[in-house]
Amino acid sequence: AFALRFGGVTYAQFLTSDLVLHVHNVQSVLQGVWVFTEPVPDGTLVPYPPAYYMIVGMLSWLFGQSEEILGLLLKWTASVLDASACLALAWAGARVWSARAGAWAAAAYAASPAAFDLFSAGNYTNIFAQSVLNLTLLLGVAYLGSRARWSWAAPGWLALGFGLTMLGHYGMMLGALVILAFFLVWAVVNSLQRHAQPRAWVVLGAAGLALGASVALYFWRLADLILNQWGGVLSRLTVGQTAAQQSRPGAGDLLGRLLRQSGDLVGWISVISGVGGLAMWGRTAGGARALIGSALAASLVFAALDQLVGDAVRWYYMAAVPLALPAGIYLARLALVRKTGIALALLVAAVMGWQALTFWISLIFTRYH
């Protein structure tokens, strides 16, 4: 996974416009400026939290601070962090299901097209925050899904992961909050039914601590900007039918576009395998299922927002890991069905790899942002 990502972004013909923007932001942080904004495609200013830039800035003390070195550090750290989801999937899959399921899940994510789209665009802070959120959610899945004893270090790591997510990218902060909102609803309903899981409240408590810290450290300074941005989103959702809205595609067209994007950016085989894995994930602890389900539900919310107003978190990237874990379970079960099952599982993996390679090679050679 690392070789695919880092090899692609360092290839001589690979071009992306946003790399220099992030290099300049790292330089700003090194000069003591750490509260700043950037415009989204429609021109709306949004916060740009500096956690990732601070980490790259610290590495630059060792390797140098030229634009070329900073650009290479951005590419290297993003590639390492995104690829690390494969190790986390293998570990979490082994904790809550089996080592085989974890290995298949790691392979499914390594071949997911979702990350390659962001590397192509140069969305490095998005990659950083989503990568940290992936590791945090998988730690949460293992914490909720295994019966092993855990030290109190686990809630601390969860709080740190959620905090770095929120201080790494504003969109991913919103994504994490929607995931946690769905998970909170599940925890409350579960408690009312007298099936409370104390570890679920530990996860929510760690996330609440991270949210409070991120607001106190950074987001209170940009409260007016955030309120204005959300006011614009809500107005686009609630305003009356204008001429532009009257020409908006119908529900069938929007659904068709969403399905095509899912196939292109997540991978049809990954989606089908992930759904199949969810259907056979019954013996996994409810909290682990609920956390994965919350991430998938949040992805669907942002996918709908993307289709309606074009102002959303990159939902396909958010869905990649929550689909890869159940896909690993599905492929592991498939591979147990004698020789035929193993052949089918290998065929599915080959199709996943083929789609990833063709998608990534096309981005490297033909696409410029």
**340 vs 320, which has greater pLDDT?**
320
Per the model's pLDDT, the better-predicted residue between 128 and 111 turns out to be 128
Write down the pLDDT at residue 235. 67
Residue among 278, 274, 262 nearest 348 (CA): 274
Sign of CA dihedral 51, 54, 60, 65: positive
Q: Which of 21-25, 98-102, 245-249 has the lowest mean pLDDT?
A: 245-249
- Position 123 pLDDT exceeds 50: yes
User: Bigger pLDDT: 277 or 212?
Assistant: 212
* Nearest-angstrom CA–CA distance, 158 and 164: 10
pLDDT at position 156, please?
94
With cut-offs at 50, 70 and 90, classify the pLDDT of residue 14.
Answer: confident
Whose CA is closest to 295, among 278, 320, 268, 327?
320
Express as a percent the part of the chain with pLDDT over 70: 84
Whether pLDDT at 168 is above 90: yes
pLDDT tens, 180-197? 999 999 999 888 877 668
Q: Poorest-confidence range of 33-47, 116-130, 218-232, 242-256? A: 242-256
pLDDT of 259 strictly over 70? no
pLDDT band at 256 (very low <50, low <70, confident <90, very high): low
Q: Report pLDDT for 241.
A: 40
pLDDT, position 116: 92
Backbone angles phi, psi at 297, to 5 degrees: -65, -40
Q: Which long-range contacts link 34-39 to residues 24+ away (Cβ below 8 Å)?
A: 35/218, 35/221, 35/222, 37/222, 37/225
pLDDT value at residue 80: 97
pLDDT given at position 246: 46
> pTM to 2 decimals?
0.89
Q: Which of 26-40, 239-253, 261-275 has the lowest mean pLDDT?
A: 239-253
pLDDT band at 133 (very low <50, low <70, confident <90, very high): very high
What pLDDT score was predicted for residue 135? 97
pLDDT of residue 245: 47
Query: How far, in Å, are 47, 174, 231, 238 from residue 234 at the CA level?
Result: 18, 15, 5, 6
Terminal Cα distance for the chain, rounded: 23
Higher pLDDT, 261 or 171: 171
CA distances from 174 to 18, 168, 217, 318, 331 (A): 22, 11, 17, 12, 32
Q: How far apart are CA 121 and CA 114, in angstroms?
A: 12
Distance CA 124, CA 143 (A): 28
Confidence grade of residue 329 (pLDDT, cut at 50, 70, 90): confident
Q: pLDDT tens-digit profile of 22-79?
A: 999 999 999 999 888 888 766 778 888 999 999 999 999 999 899 999 999 999 999 9
Q: What is the mean pLDDT of the chain?
A: 85
User: What does the alpha-carbon distance between residue 23 and residue 76 come to, in Å, rounded to a whole number?
Assistant: 13
Nearest CA among 357, 352, 353 for reference residue 271: 352
Percent of the chain residues past pLDDT 90, beyond the cut: 42
Q: Residues 151, 111: contact at Cβ < 8 Å?
A: no
Residue 240 clears pLDDT 50, i.e. is over it: no
Highest mean pLDDT pick, 101-105, 148-152, 179-183, 234-238: 179-183
Closest CA to 96 of 261, 284, 291, 348: 284
Between these two residues, 245 and 335, which has the higher pLDDT value? 335
Predicted confidence (pLDDT) at residue 369 exceeds the cutoff of 60? no
Q: Which range, of 47-56, 101-110, 212-221, 225-234, averages the lowest pLDDT?
A: 225-234
